[in-house]
Amino acid sequence: MSLWEYIDWDIDEEKEKNKKNAEKILKEFPDVEGLKEVLDDVQALMDSEVYDKVYEASLKDPEEMSSYIDTVDDLLKLKQVKLASEILKEPPLYISSLTGVVIFSHLKALFAGLIPEIWYVYAQRKLNHKDTLREHAILERLMSLLDDFGKPINFQPPDEKFYKKLKDVKWDKSAKKLFGKIHRIRGDIRVVRWVSDSSTFGTGENYSLTFLAACSAVNRDRNKILSEDVIVANRTYFKLLNTDISKLM
């Protein structure tokens, strides 16, 4: 049993602590449009039932979630997986200053982690190969449309040029600081809600949000992630959590 499991958390006290931390972030970044709404959404995760269910799904064995386990060859037939595997790095150790901000694991965190976990929660059944194909379509919409992924908008799916730009994306110093501060509030919430075993889920969240922020920058024809991209990434994440994506495609 983890040491954390002996702690009797005062939820109201923890919520107040998160509120104060959010207020500090707002004071430090007063000119970032949409930040208050994002911080409100982050704090709301403390009571989110769907967030709890997605976390529980992340702990399941793949065979519990899927009636069909896609092979590497199956996945490499999917356009975005193939392009990402060919262009993005996949180093044994991730250090953004050395490996680049975005590596193949960031796409995997979103496509092989977060998307199927959310899909499973809403579909309430084992996933199959057709679901994987539909999830790939959701991935393309997320990368290109971000928080507009659910709207009937025509778009150009990411291509080789997109990934080459993604590979070269860097962090703006202020944006990286903001990203980290928001992520720390989520981390505090995970510890209180689930006590232990949340570090892997937290890494998946971090990677997925980094990937979405980088996609936001590329879609705006920039090679640097700015604070506005951090906001867009978080907004996209919350919309994804609260959307029955199994009915979108």
Domain ranges of the chain: 9-247
Tokens matching residue 164: 């080459």
Q: How far is C-alpha 135 from the chain's CA centre?
A: 14
Over residues 125-139, the mean pLDDT reads 96
Q: Which of 168, 158, 169 is nearest to 214 (CA)?
A: 169
Give the per-residue pLDDT at 225. Answer: 98
CA distance 157 to 137: 9
CA neighbours closer than 13 Å in the CB half-sphere of residue 160 = 1
5 has a pLDDT exceeding 70: no
246 has a pLDDT exceeding 70: yes
CA distance 237 to 209: 7
Asked whether 128 and 66 are in contact (CB, 8 A), the reply is yes
CA distance 249 to 235: 21
- Per-residue pLDDT tens for 165-196? 999 999 999 999 999 999 999 999 999 988 75
Please give the DSSP secondary-structure letter assigned to residue 71.
-
pTM above 0.85, yes or no: yes
115 has a pLDDT exceeding 90: yes
Give the per-residue pLDDT at 14. Answer: 94
